[in-house]
Every structure is written in structure tokens, then in C-alpha cells.
A and B are shown apart, each in its own frame.
Chain A
Amino acid sequence: MKINIQFLTLGLFLLLFSSCEEEFTPNPSGDGPKYVVEGYIEAGEDAFIPYLLLTRTFDFYGEISPDQFTESFVHDADVRVSDGSIEVVFQEICFSELDSAIREQVAEQFGFDPDSLTIDFCVYLDLLNQLQPQEGKTYDLRINAGGDLITASTHIPIHVPLERITFKPPPGEPNDSLAQMVCFIADPPGEKNFYRYLVATNEGTLETGFSSVEEDLFFDGLIFEFQLLNPKTSSGDVEPQEFGLYFVGDTITVKWSSIDEANFDFWNTLEFSNANQGPFSSYTRLESNITGGLGIWGGYSVSHYTQVVTY
């Protein structure tokens, strides 16, 4: 429900005027790289164990090689997460250190082919799941990377599940191979709620479209019906008639999460920044909850829904 008039008028604009574009390189900053945190901590059914990636930024230039990606990972950092009663030190594990069976499992989880992967991904994780993340708790992150201190805090809100998911025929002209997904939610009244969703198709990896987060600004306290767009058909090169729709017969899994406001703000600014490029756009700085770096340390309370697309 974001109103992006610029986006709508851009197409019209380009219809009228031929434009000409030329590649250019902004002057480098000379200030060196920054730390980047991408961390997740989940509570709920089928929750993934807490983990985070700690990397450095790349300068803004033409191409990034596999070696540069691999070198961007920050090693040997002291990563600790506390829920106020216990503190857990996260272990660093790199893809290259895993035995082949686990490597395949991890690769499948993230959608990679383990045999041709050229980047040596490294993550810090609560390997034994000692934290046992819970709804309603706050988790403080503290990283010491070569003497540099990086901190963040996230809250896992009480989960608001989807009431149900149904599919119905696509709008407009009949097409029995396509379907739109309709969800229902009973939003708790009187409090701000923030949501994020991801969708996997036919047991593939979970993906997000151009807009994965929503707040209850317009439906606070309502039993509300809304569509969830298919990430596979709502970004990249897609046929206009398939936009956001699902294919009848596919099996889809929706990962539905309640998130805190800082987590919402991060993804909201990220998605707005990515979608909002054009003739009248201003830059959007991603709103991060990380002190001492960029990125997100995000808490989720999650539920999963798997259904066959049919109506």
C-alpha cells in the first residue's frame, strides 16, 4: 500500500522522451570499509538457529571477484548474544570447514550448489542453540572485531499468526493456471505490529519480493484480508499477466514473521531504496539498528504454512 507515484509515472515519462544513459564512477570516499552485520534470531515453530554474517563493505567500483567476496568476511571476531540471563558466544564456521554432508544441507538451505560455490561463506552461530530464543525477549549483540566494538539489540515480538491462507482465480481475464494468494490475519488492537513474509516454492529456498514487510497502520485491530505476492513473479523480468501470482499445482511455503519496529524499518528502507530509483528520487539511507557498522540484527517470531496452490 505504499504510494509510489514516481514509479507509476516513470513508465509514462519514458514513453514520451527518449533517454540516454552513460556509465560513470563516483569519486571514491577514501574512508575505508565499514563492518556489516546480517544476523537473525528466531522463535517459533521450525525456527532457524541464531546466526549472523560479519563482513566488510566493498568500495563502489566495477566488479567484485570471488576472492574479494571471500575476503570480505571478518574472521576471529568475538560474537556474543545475551538475553539478559544467559550470554552465548557464537562460533565461527566457514563453508569450507564443513564436511560434505553438512555442506550439502547448508547449501540446500541457502539455495546454492555446493560443488560450484566459489565463495567461502563464514557465519557466526549459536551452534548448540543454547539461547533457545523466545517471544517477548530482547537479545543484545556484542561483537569485538579486532578491537572494534559493534553492538545491537533486537526484540522478538509475540507472534501474530495468519488465520488462514486460500487461493482464488486471478483478477480480470480467466486463467486457470494462475492463482492469487489471499491471507487473513486477526491483528491485535491498540499496538503497533510489524510483519515480514518469505515464500518458498516446491521446497525451494525462501525468497522475498520487492516488498516483504508491512505494518498494521491501516488494519490495526481488524480481521484483515490481504494478498501476498509471489516473490518469483513480482521481481525481475516477469510477464505482466503473471505479476505476483502463483502457479496452480505448485506447493508453496509461507514463512510468516512478527518483527520489531527497528527490524521493520531496516527492511522497509532497504526495499524502498531498491524500488525508488528514478528521475525524481532522492537517496534513502538504510535505517540500521547496528552501532559501529551497517546491517541488521533482527528478531523474528515465525510460523510456516505449506499448501498446494489450488482453488
Chain B
Amino acid sequence: MTIIAFSLDHMRTTLLRTLLSGFWCLLAMVVNAQVKHTISGYVKDSRTGETLIGANVFLENDATTGTVTNTYGFFSITLPEGPQLLVFSYLGYQSRIEPLILNANINLNIGMDKGIAMQEVVVSAAGEEEDENVQSTSMGRVTLPMEQIKVLPALLGEVDVLKTLQLLPGVSSAGEGSSGFYVRGGGADQNLVLLDEAVVYNSGHFLGFFSVFNADAIKNTTLIKGGIPAVYGGRLSSVLDIQMKEGNNQQFEGEGGIGLISSRLTLEGPIVKDKSSFLISGRRTYGFDLAQPLIRQTDFAGTNYFFYDLNAKINYQFSQKDRLYLSGYFGRDVLTLAQPGRDFGFKLPYGNATTTLRWNHLFNDKLFFNLSAIYNDYQFRAGFKQEEFSFDVFSGVRDFSAKFDFDYFPSNEHQIKTGLHATQHRLTPNVITGNAGDVEFENTAVAKYGNEYALYIQDDWKISSWFRVNLGLRATMFQQVGPYTSSITGETYNNGEVVTTYNSMEPRLFVNTALHPNASLKAGVTATTQYLHLVSNSSSTLPADVWVPSSELVKPQRGWQYAAGYFQNIRKNEYEASVEVYYKSLRDQIDYRESYVDNSVDQVETEFVFGDGKAYGLEFLLRKNKGALNGWIGYTLSRTDRTFPDIENGRTYPTTYDRTHDLSIVTNYNLTNKLIAGFVFVYATGKSYTPPERVYLIDGELQTDYGPRNSQRLEPYHRMDISLTYIPNPTSTKNFTSEWVFSIYNVYNRQNTFFLYTDYETDLQSGTAEVKAYKVSIFPILPSITWNFKFK
């Protein structure tokens, strides 16, 4: 083991040196780059003016000479002087070929039209000539178009981006119906979830059964589960990058829907045509509101529950070189329990608020700059009151962030990204205040503060027509700062005074070797460091779980991921196939100590124990991108475990989300131009659990003695869902159109176990006892119907 550890350390050191040397060579090459003409601009949806992220731009006669649009739809490509045919292609859009006579730098904004068949789902990421998924250096990266997500079956009709992501290989669900997800053996807190660059600290409503992302407000969803580029950091396992729509800058329009759980309404339109637009989108549940007349007749009058989301965004284009975006999200779950007859009241509101202000500036046609100022705030509150006794609990995370990002396109061989990110964190643990009669009480928990910095550079470098490399380095620093009083030394730190500092150098290296125009081998190494941690004592994360920073008590989590894969496109990109293997090593993982009880201790960190983890697996993906029938089959063979010296004396155990086998079949089929059928089948090895092995008497009642952690498994999980989308008038040009979505969750009524519990009946007088355990399933066959509409 020592030799292996030494080899890994040596390998990491060598890798760092190689990267630094690589950047030096790269700069020299950039300086010597030959002069050509540059075509730059934005790719947009011609109807709405929405910029298109990840659109392909390449030469018609040489698909290997090309680029993709960045997060803001911007591209820059440098080509030799003379006539050129430039191809633009994008998910679900008709490819467009632009003939150009290139004798000077050109500014070119391209509008693209959606596929001819309006409702046909065209998933292709490229035209027939282009194989972006094969040619790029990116690994473990999946972009899911909203059009496809919307026609798949959904639990209770609620379209959910996160649940669709769980159907991809390498991504597993936190549990039946849950929007929580685990990526390649990483914990739930190890996913960086971004909404317009703002971190979303709790992405679930209603205990995680529904995600906070309103599908109507989302433009683009990208999950990076493997090769995380240097531009991203702060989490060990994955990046889920979600961009909100900007709003139609051509004409006013709206869309919405009425479902069993919630209703939605989205309005968007130009403020100044072609220059400025807005979008506002809301969603709210109403089941308990409708039940209020009944609830008022009971002892629990005043009891209610609802959640809502509000997304808003405006943008303004000052010039071809300057754009401003302001976007925000505000969502809340509100649970109110009341029992007026006992003067009892309990209120539990929680949710996220984010605001992102972005300024895009083009220094020149090769240098794109973005400045983002981001505010996000996750708050959890619980208030209890009965007569003269009351208490309130508050916890949360509040961040202020600034990001300076540059995209530099010096030549077609290089695409360089560099930037600086700085975030000020305030993390409030469970702060409790209360009154018992005239006496006020409180715990001594106080907020902790931290500053996080990251400096990164990465280059996507086409070394030859068959070999590409993406070199990246991310240097990060985290400082725990005052006000703070050390629980170790007793020393007091003033506002902003540094308590502890952690640094990390995170190399990222991905290589692509083309074996054939339609096939490639890729490999990558990703180092990541995580300074904020969410530790849960539950089988899934809950809104009451508290985020804590790295501090003098808690080290940063660190991870290395090694991955390799074979990628092939078949039949002119009609099919994509890939096989990826990965090995992930995780250090300084965090869990609660055994026998932890949620007693609202002042410093929850004192309840933590630390250990290591590893995960490895093999992923297969076959995806059909074109035609009336499309979708994918994904299969994962994997293993995930943890070893904590303070848990069962260091016995290695599988995590609860360890799945040996995980299979997903996802398809949709255009039956006619009015009917689209959706189908999902999932199969996964049963969850591991800690079995009750013995019982014993204490104080006349039976208690449980549990066996080793996660040493047994539930029966396998499997389920089939179907949906049918009916569009009465698919070719209608009327101002108002609508569609119906019928969905059935768990078609064959599989009783998948959601949780276990034990039940003991003891009668010492008669000397008998019954010892039973039950498994509970929650979602039987569940049909749903949703009516969606659009107007303009």
C-alpha cells in the first residue's frame, strides 16, 4: 500500500510539472501563431433570439476544424483567407451552412431554425459531418435538451430535470421518487449544482421529491460527471450546470401548464426588440390549499403545505461588444402545522434565493470576457410555539461571489479559458433561540465565515488532426475567517481575521486520440477539492441538514478521478456509443460518528468522523439521436465504499448508494405528428442497509442490536414508466396552442422498498414478544395528466 501511495503522489507531482511545462510551451506557440482571419459572433434561435450554448461551428470540408459556442452563445473561429463554407449545427435545429469570402475579420451572428417537424425530438448534437462527442476532449459530459425531458414520463406529471439525469449511466438516485442524485460514487453534497452560475445549496422541494428547477424556465442542462474542466471547482464529484432562458427578444409569448401537483406560468418577451428581453416564470403547488375547507373542520385548522418557485431574468445588449444579464431565483417550501385547540403552532419555511448579474464584454474578436456578481442565500427556519414556550431554529448559507472569466481563441488549435473566482461564505449552523415563560434561552452556535478563491487556466489544444488535449490547472485557497473563537485554543479572531488556510493545486488533464473519424479513445485525470460540506444523518439529504465550512476542525475533502473511454458514432451519428471506466479516490470524507443523535449541539463538527472512500466502475451508453425513435440505453457496473477508522474499527463498507448494476432504458417515439410516446425502464441492484440482527430487553422493552453497516441489501429496484403526449393541432399557427401529457409511473405496480422499520410488541406479564420488520413502498402505479399551453 505504501508503494501504491508513493506512486500516486509521484504521479501527481509529475503531472503538475507536465502541466506547467505545457502551459509554457502553449504561450510560446500562441505568440508565434500565424495570422489568419477571425469569424466571431453569436449563435441564436432565430425565432426567440435565445443564444444557443454548445452549438457546433466547423468547416464544411473539414469537420475537425471547428469550435463550439460558449455559455453565452459566443464563438470565435480563425480560418485561412479565401472562400469558406461554415456549418452551424445544434441540438434539434436545422444545420445551417454559411458561404463566406474571408478577406478580413468578420462579425457574424447566426439565427438557427428548429427542426422541420415541430414536435420531433432531434437530439443530434451535430450534423452528419460532425462528431463532437467523439472529437472533443470532454468525458462524462452529457447535455440533455429540455424538449426530450418534457416528453418523458414524469412522477405525478412534474417534469424534473434531476430525475431524468438519474437515468444516465454513472448517476444513481437517492431513492424512490427522489430528485437527489449521486454521481460515480460521490456523496450528495459533492455535486456542484449551478443555476446561472449561482450555487443551489438545496435543490429539492418536499423532502427532495421534486427539484427546484422549473422546466419552463430552463434553457440548458449539462451534467459533467467525469472530466471536470478547470473552470469548475469546489465539489468532488460532478457539475450540474443549468442556464435559465433569457427570454424571447422577438415577440411576447407565454406558456404554462396545469398539473396534479402544481401549475406553472411563464411570460417572456422583448423589452427592446433584438436588444433586450425579459422572462418571468412561476410555479406553485396547491393541493393543501384546495383541501383547506376540509382541514378547517378538523382540530388542525391552519395546517398547510405548499412550495413555489419564481425565476426571473432580463438582459440588455448595449452593443455588439457589451451585454448585461440579471437573473434570479426565489423558491420556498412552507409547512405550517397548527392545532388551535392546544394553542400549538409550528412553521417550517425553507428555500433558496439567488441573484446573478453578468456582464459580457468582447475585448476583440478573439477575447471574450465575462464578469459575474452572484448572491445566493439558502435559509432553513423552524419555529415552534405553544403558550408561553417557543423556540426558533435557523440555519443557512449565504454567499457573495465575483467571477472574472476570459475565453481566448488565439487559433483554431487552442481555446483558452482563464479566470479568477472569489466567494465569501457565511454558514450558519442550527442557531436556536427561545422563550420559556419569562426566561430566554439560546444555544451558543454562531455563524462561521470563509473566503474561497480560485485561479484557473485551461487550454483545449488540438495538437494534430488525431490528437487533442485539454490541459487545466485550478489553484484554490480557502480561509476560515473571524469572527470566531477557537474551540481548541480559546483564541478569539476578529472580523475577517484568518483562522485557518487551506490550499490546493488541482490539475485537470484530458486527452483524445482519434482512431477513426467516428471513433476515439479518451482518458483523463481530475483533481478536486471541496471546502464546504453537508453531512446527513438521514438516508437522503434533508432541508434541515447543515452545511459546514472547512475549518480548524474540518479538513477539505479531496478527490482524484482517473477515467478512460472509447467513443464511437455509428451510421452517420444516428447512434452514439461509449464505454467509460473510472476510478475515484476520495480523502477526508465526513460522516457522523456512530450513535450520533440530532440534539442540536453547538458545534456539529464535534460529532464528525473522517475517513476515505473509493469508487470505480464501468459505464456503457448507447444513444440514438435521430429519427422517430430515439433515446438511450445506459448500464453501469460499479462499486463505492468508505473506510472510517472511527466507524466499526475501520471496516470498509459499501455506501447506501452503491449499486453494482444500474440499467436505464429511455426512449421516446413519434407515433404520429400528434402523438409522442415516452418509455422509461430502470433496474438497479438493491440498496445496502444496516440489518437489525438481535433484540434485547432494556427497561421492559425490546431494543435493536444492528449488524455491520450496510452489510445487507434490499431486493433489486425496477420500474417502468410510460407517457403519451397528445398535440391536437401540431401545425397550428394560432396564438393559442395546447397539449396533453398523460403519464403512468410504475406501470406494473412494482413494490420497491422505500424504507424499513422494526416493530416490537412486548408483554412481559405473559412472557411473549413479537419481533417484526417491515419494508414500505410508497409509489404504486400512479397515473397523471397535465395540460400544457402556449400563447403569443
With A21-B775, A218-B434 known as contacts, the answer to whether A57 contacts B767 (CB < 8 A) is: no
The closest CB in chain A to the CB of B693 belongs to: A29
A85 within 8 A of B: no
Taking CB atoms, residues of chain B closer than 8 Å to A119 are 764, 767
Contact with A281, one of B207, B755, B769, B772 (Cβ below 8 angstroms): B755
Complex Cα spacing A282 to B299, Å: 32
Taking CB atoms, residues of chain A closer than 8 Å to B389 are 227
The closest CB in chain B to the CB of A219 belongs to: B441
Stretch of B400-408, B593-601, B668-676 that contacts chain A: B593-601
Stretch of B103-111, B144-152, B334-342, B619-627 that contacts chain A: B334-342
Complex Cα spacing A133 to B542, Å: 46
A16 within 8 A of B: yes
* Contact between chains at A18 and B780 (CB < 8 Å): yes
A141 to chain B, nearest CB (A): 16
* Contact between chains at B757 and A278 (CB < 8 Å): yes
Within 8 A of B (CB), among A279-311: 279-287, 294-296
Taking CB atoms, residues of chain B closer than 8 Å to A104 are none
Contact with A31, one of B596, B693, B779 (Cβ below 8 angstroms): B693
A20 within 8 A of B: yes
* Contact between chains at A57 and B430 (CB < 8 Å): no
* Contact between chains at B773 and A58 (CB < 8 Å): no
* Contact between chains at A21 and B774 (CB < 8 Å): yes
Complex Cα spacing A163 to B134, Å: 77
A12 within 8 A of B: yes
* Contact between chains at B436 and A224 (CB < 8 Å): yes
Stretch of A42-50, A149-157, A268-276 that contacts chain B: A268-276
With A60-B695, A272-B598 known as contacts, the answer to whether A24 contacts B767 (CB < 8 A) is: no
A161 within 8 A of B: no
The closest CB in chain A to the CB of B597 belongs to: A272
A6 within 8 A of B: yes
Within 8 A of A (CB), among B334-373: 335, 337, 339-344, 346, 348
Taking CB atoms, residues of chain B closer than 8 Å to A117 are 764-765, 767
Within 8 A of B (CB), among A57-79: 57-66, 69-70, 72
B338 to chain A, nearest CB (A): 11
The closest CB in chain B to the CB of A14 belongs to: B778
Encoded as 1 (CB less than 8 Å from any B CB) or 0, chain A from 248 to 272 comes to: 0000000000000000010011101
Stretch of B314-322, B483-491, B701-709 that contacts chain A: B701-709
Complex Cα spacing A282 to B542, Å: 12
Encoded as 1 (CB less than 8 Å from any A CB) or 0, chain B from 511 to 542 comes to: 00000000000000000000000000111101
* Contact between chains at A17 and B778 (CB < 8 Å): yes
A183 to chain B, nearest CB (A): 11
Contact with A25, one of B600, B697, B773 (Cβ below 8 angstroms): B773
* Contact between chains at A226 and B436 (CB < 8 Å): yes
* Contact between chains at A273 and B439 (CB < 8 Å): no
Contact with B692, one of A26, A31, A34, A281 (Cβ below 8 angstroms): A26
* Contact between chains at A63 and B770 (CB < 8 Å): yes
A223 within 8 A of B: yes
Contact with A26, one of B299, B600, B693 (Cβ below 8 angstroms): B693
A220 to chain B, nearest CB (A): 9
B183 to chain A, nearest CB (A): 21
A153 to chain B, nearest CB (A): 18
Taking CB atoms, residues of chain A closer than 8 Å to B305 are 12
Encoded as 1 (CB less than 8 Å from any A CB) or 0, chain B from 225 to 256 comes to: 00000000000000000000000000000000
Complex Cα spacing A85 to B540, Å: 51
Contact with B704, one of A12, A223, A273 (Cβ below 8 angstroms): A273
B487 to chain A, nearest CB (A): 15
Complex Cα spacing A36 to B694, Å: 11
Complex Cα spacing A173 to B340, Å: 8
B151 to chain A, nearest CB (A): 25
Complex Cα spacing A134 to B601, Å: 31
* Contact between chains at B706 and A8 (CB < 8 Å): no
* Contact between chains at A279 and B602 (CB < 8 Å): no
Contact with A64, one of B341, B768, B776, B777 (Cβ below 8 angstroms): B768
* Contact between chains at B698 and A283 (CB < 8 Å): no
* Contact between chains at A23 and B773 (CB < 8 Å): yes
* Contact between chains at B696 and A281 (CB < 8 Å): no
Complex Cα spacing A196 to B391, Å: 22
Contact with B207, one of A9, A56, A173, A227 (Cβ below 8 angstroms): A9
Complex Cα spacing A4 to B430, Å: 13
Contact with B430, one of A3, A22, A60, A273 (Cβ below 8 angstroms): A3
Encoded as 1 (CB less than 8 Å from any B CB) or 0, chain A from 103 to 125 comes to: 00000000011001111000000
With A240-B299, A280-B542 known as contacts, the answer to whether A69 contacts B767 (CB < 8 A) is: yes
Contact with B771, one of A62, A173, A223, A295 (Cβ below 8 angstroms): A62
* Contact between chains at B774 and A22 (CB < 8 Å): yes
A198 to chain B, nearest CB (A): 10
Contact with A171, one of B343, B698, B707 (Cβ below 8 angstroms): B343
B197 to chain A, nearest CB (A): 30
A146 within 8 A of B: no
* Contact between chains at B436 and A225 (CB < 8 Å): yes
B471 within 8 A of A: no
* Contact between chains at B696 and A295 (CB < 8 Å): yes
* Contact between chains at A24 and B775 (CB < 8 Å): yes
The closest CB in chain B to the CB of A175 belongs to: B341
Contact with B694, one of A58, A224, A287, A295 (Cβ below 8 angstroms): A58
A82 within 8 A of B: no
B766 within 8 A of A: yes
Taking CB atoms, residues of chain A closer than 8 Å to B681 are none
Contact with A270, one of B594, B703, B774, B775 (Cβ below 8 angstroms): B703
A54 to chain B, nearest CB (A): 11
* Contact between chains at A222 and B441 (CB < 8 Å): yes
Contact with B755, one of A27, A171, A280 (Cβ below 8 angstroms): A280
A207 to chain B, nearest CB (A): 9
Taking CB atoms, residues of chain A closer than 8 Å to B706 are 283, 285
With A20-B751, A62-B770, A280-B542 known as contacts, the answer to whether A112 contacts B765 (CB < 8 A) is: yes
Taking CB atoms, residues of chain A closer than 8 Å to B343 are 171-172
A29 to chain B, nearest CB (A): 4
Encoded as 1 (CB less than 8 Å from any B CB) or 0, chain A from 169 to 188 comes to: 01111000000000000000
With A58-B694, A272-B598 known as contacts, the answer to whether A277 contacts B758 (CB < 8 A) is: yes
* Contact between chains at B754 and A279 (CB < 8 Å): yes
B437 within 8 A of A: yes
Taking CB atoms, residues of chain A closer than 8 Å to B341 are 172-173, 241
A310 to chain B, nearest CB (A): 19
The closest CB in chain B to the CB of A2 belongs to: B599
A147 within 8 A of B: no
A71 to chain B, nearest CB (A): 11
Taking CB atoms, residues of chain A closer than 8 Å to B690 are 282-283
Within 8 A of B (CB), among A209-225: 215, 217-219, 222-225
Taking CB atoms, residues of chain A closer than 8 Å to B764 are 69, 112, 117, 119
With A1-B600, A218-B432, A277-B757 known as contacts, the answer to whether A287 contacts B595 (CB < 8 A) is: yes
Taking CB atoms, residues of chain A closer than 8 Å to B595 are 265, 269, 284-287
B306 to chain A, nearest CB (A): 11
Taking CB atoms, residues of chain B closer than 8 Å to A218 are 432, 434, 441-443
The closest CB in chain B to the CB of A214 belongs to: B599
Within 8 A of A (CB), among B683-720: 690-699, 701, 703-707, 712
29 contacts between A and B (CB under 8 A): A1-B391, A1-B434, A6-B538, A19-B778, A20-B751, A20-B780, A26-B692, A27-B712, A29-B707, A55-B697, A58-B695, A58-B771, A59-B694, A62-B771, A69-B767, A171-B342, A172-B341, A172-B342, A218-B442, A224-B436, A227-B389, A240-B299, A241-B342, A269-B597, A272-B597, A281-B755, A282-B539, A283-B690, A284-B597
A→B interface (CB under 8 Å): 1-6, 8-9, 12-13, 16-29, 31, 33-34, 36, 38, 53, 55-66, 69-70, 72, 112-113, 116-119, 170-173, 208, 215, 217-219, 222-227, 240-241, 243, 265, 268-270, 272-274, 277-287, 294-296
Rank and list the top 10 A-B pairs by shortest CB-CB distance, nearest first.
Answer: A66-B767, A118-B767, A57-B694, A172-B343, A287-B595, A26-B691, A29-B693, A171-B343, A172-B342, A64-B769
